[in-house]
């Protein structure tokens, strides 16, 4: 079975490509390398000893996309490609709407005209806005607070409407919680340019002394120690969720949370990171970050029951693997 992976050179996409190759799927990647590097392809080969077909194309270019579909005869698509920085999306909304929506509409148009009906889409827990209770279930109300989140919600709506119009489509929407960690080889991981927005990449840069101190955004939330609580999930557990989604696919529109179901506070994450890596992470408490919520963690019962999803890595593994990736690539 041949799978088109858009954004396959990125953080989550590259780990998923490894899983797909290990499971015997053929893989075609389309990525414009806007937020990734070409050497990821060599690293995937090193880990799996298998080749992928790669097109450095922008999904917003419909003609190029048609060329891929006409040459490759893919059976299914996993759609990771997109821009994902929340703060940037607030400052550059048109760039986010243009890239994330045009690319997806082009992809769906090409799928329809080449009769490819199976797609797995990367959505985010951000579509739950500020949840009314915890853990978050798939049928909770949806809302967003920034253009990035709105693109995810809009794409979910587009997929829903597409399925209503043609129910031979097989659509799986995966709502990720907070992916961290890295491949155990140290070859694949998350390496954001500049100053990271997300917690784990920031912690890593403080641990390696690239950044002086971690700003902890608020310690007056109603949580175990006052700091924000999130559901961190190892990227390898998350990536395997996509293989399960493909294996369990059948016509329909299905939505699953991919998280561990456990909440961890900022300070709990910092302490665990320090302990397993035997390194100091200096931090100071600062004001809350605008738009942040106190707590967010998944109910993953649906993914467990219907997909057989079963995360196997714990917080210590996530901290160890995140640090190992950066140390290996320094
Ligand atoms: P990433 O930035 O590492 O990977 C995305 C890839 O898509 C990059 O390699 C980029 O070059 C490519 N891309 C972007 N626009 C493109 C276009 N128009 N044409 C071709 N390629 C394009 O991001 P990631 O962390 O691997 O996230 C993958 C997906 O999961 C994204 O859609 C993201 O919004 C979603 N998601 C990520 C997180 C997270 O915390 N990482 C959480 C929830 C959802
Ligand atoms: C962020 C995005 C969300 C996206 C998710 C995964 C925002 C507002 N939300 O979520 O849309 O789906 O990433 O990519 O950006 N923290 C600090 N100091 C830091 C960084 C973070 O204390 O330097 C805290 C935050 O307040 C939060 C926790 O760490 O409590 C996690 O933050 P982060 O990694 O940015 O993820 P989210 O806010 O959950």
Q: What is the DSSP string of 28-79?
A: EEE---TTS-TTHHHHHHHHHS---EEE---TT-HHHHHHHHHHH--SEEEE
Separation between Cα atoms, residue 119 and residue 126, nearest integer Å: 21
The ligand that comes nearest to the alpha carbon of residue 150 is 2
Cα 27 to ligand 2 centroid, rounded to whole Å: 31
More confident residue, 72 or 87: 72
Q: Which long-range contacts (CB under 8 A, 24 or more apart) does 103-108 make?
A: 103/6, 103/58, 103/59, 103/60, 104/59, 104/79, 104/155, 104/158, 105/158, 106/59, 106/60, 106/61, 106/62, 106/65, 107/6, 107/59, 107/65, 107/77, 107/79, 108/158, 108/159, 108/162
Cα 214 to ligand 1 centroid, rounded to whole Å: 25
Tell me the torsion sign for CA atoms 50, 322, 245, 312: positive
Considering the domain boundaries, does residue 293 fall inside one? no
240 belongs to the catalytic site: no
Rg (CA), the chain: 19
Residues of the chain with pLDDT > 70: what percent? Answer: 100
The CATH number that applies at residue 33 is 3.40.50.720
Tokens of 93: 């909304």
Considering the domain boundaries, does residue 102 fall inside one? yes
The pLDDT of residue 194 is 84
Considering the domain boundaries, does residue 329 fall inside one? no
* Residue 191 clears pLDDT 90, i.e. is over it: no
Considering the domain boundaries, does residue 78 fall inside one? yes
Grade residue 193 by pLDDT with cuts at 50, 70 and 90. Answer: confident
- The total number of structural domains that make up the chain: 1
Average pLDDT over residues 183-199: 92
Atom nearest to 178 CA in ligand 1: 40
Cα 114 to ligand 1 centroid, rounded to whole Å: 24
Q: Residue 38's closest CA among 52, 20, 23?
A: 52
Q: At what angle do helices 199-207 and 315-328 cross, to 10 degrees?
A: 60
Indicate the SS3 state at residue 230.
strand
Q: Is 266 in the pocket of ligand 2 (CB under 6 A)?
A: yes
Atom nearest to 81 CA in ligand 1: 7
Check if the beta carbon of residue 6 is closer than 8 Å to that of residue 31.
yes
Domain that holds residue 82: 2-180+233-260+299-311
Identify the active-site residue in 128, 148, 221, 240.
148
Tokens of 75: 């059976």
Considering the domain boundaries, does residue 326 fall inside one? no
The pLDDT of residue 175 is 98
The pLDDT of residue 192 is 81
Please give the mean pLDDT across all residues of the chain.
97
Grade residue 250 by pLDDT with cuts at 50, 70 and 90. Answer: confident
* Residue 312 clears pLDDT 90, i.e. is over it: yes
* Residue 249 clears pLDDT 90, i.e. is over it: no
Ligand 1 pocket (Cβ < 6 Å) reads 7, 9-13, 30-36, 58-60, 80-84, 99, 103, 122, 124, 176, 179
The pLDDT of residue 316 is 98
pLDDT digits (tens, 9 = 90+) for 28-75: 999 999 999 999 999 999 999 999 999 999 999 999 999 999 999 999
Separation between Cα atoms, residue 237 and residue 259, nearest integer Å: 9
Considering the domain boundaries, does residue 226 fall inside one? no
Task: Kindly give, in sequence order, each residue whose CB lies less than 8 Å from that of residue 274, ignoring residues fewer than 6 positions away.
Answer: 280, 281
Considering the domain boundaries, does residue 160 fall inside one? yes
Considering the domain boundaries, does residue 202 fall inside one? no
pLDDT digits (tens, 9 = 90+) for 116-153: 999 999 999 999 999 999 999 999 999 999 999 999 99
Indicate the SS3 state at residue 215.
strand
Cα 204 to ligand 2 centroid, rounded to whole Å: 15
């Amino acid at each position: 079975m041949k799978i088109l992976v858009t954004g396959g050179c990125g953080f989550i996409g590259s780990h998923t490509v490894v899983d797909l190759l290990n499971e015997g799927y053929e893989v075609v990647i389309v990525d414009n390398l806007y937020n990734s590097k070409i050497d990821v392809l060599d690293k995937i080969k090193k880990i799996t000893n298998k080749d992928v077909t790669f097109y450095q194309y922008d999904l917003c270019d419909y003609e190029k996309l048609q060329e891929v579909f006409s040459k490759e005869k893919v059976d299914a698509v996993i759609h990771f490609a997109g821009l994902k920085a929340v703060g940037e999306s607030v400052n550059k909304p048109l760039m986010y709407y243009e890239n994330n929506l045009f690319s997806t509409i082009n992809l769906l148009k090409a799928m329809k005209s080449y009769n490819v009906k199976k797609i797995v889409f990367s959505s985010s827990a951000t579509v739950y806005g500020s949840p009314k209770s915890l853990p978050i279930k798939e049928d909770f109300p949806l809302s967003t607070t920034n253009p990035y989140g709105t693109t995810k919600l809009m794409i979910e709506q587009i997929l829903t409407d597409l399925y209503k119009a043609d129910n031979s489509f097989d659509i799986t929407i995966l709502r990720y919680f907070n992916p961290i960690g890295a491949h155990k080889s140290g070859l694949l991981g998350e390496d954001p340019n500049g100053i990271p927005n997300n917690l784990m990449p920031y912690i890593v840069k403080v641990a390696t002394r690239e950044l002086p101190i971690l700003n902890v955004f608020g310690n007056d939330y109603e949580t175990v120690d006052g700091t924000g609580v999130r559901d961190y999930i190892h990227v390898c557990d998350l990536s395997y969720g996509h293989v399960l989604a493909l294996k369990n696919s059948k016509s329909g529109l299905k939505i699953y949370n991919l998280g561990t179901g456990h909440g961890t506070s900022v300070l709990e994450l910092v302490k665990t990171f320090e302990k397993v890596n035997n390194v100091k992470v200096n931090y100071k408490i600062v004001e809350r970050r605008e738009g942040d919520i106190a707590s967010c963690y998944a109910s993953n019962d649906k993914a467990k029951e219907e997909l057989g999803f079963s995360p196997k890595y714990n917080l210590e593994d996530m901290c160890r693997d995140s640090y190992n990736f950066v140390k290996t690539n320094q």
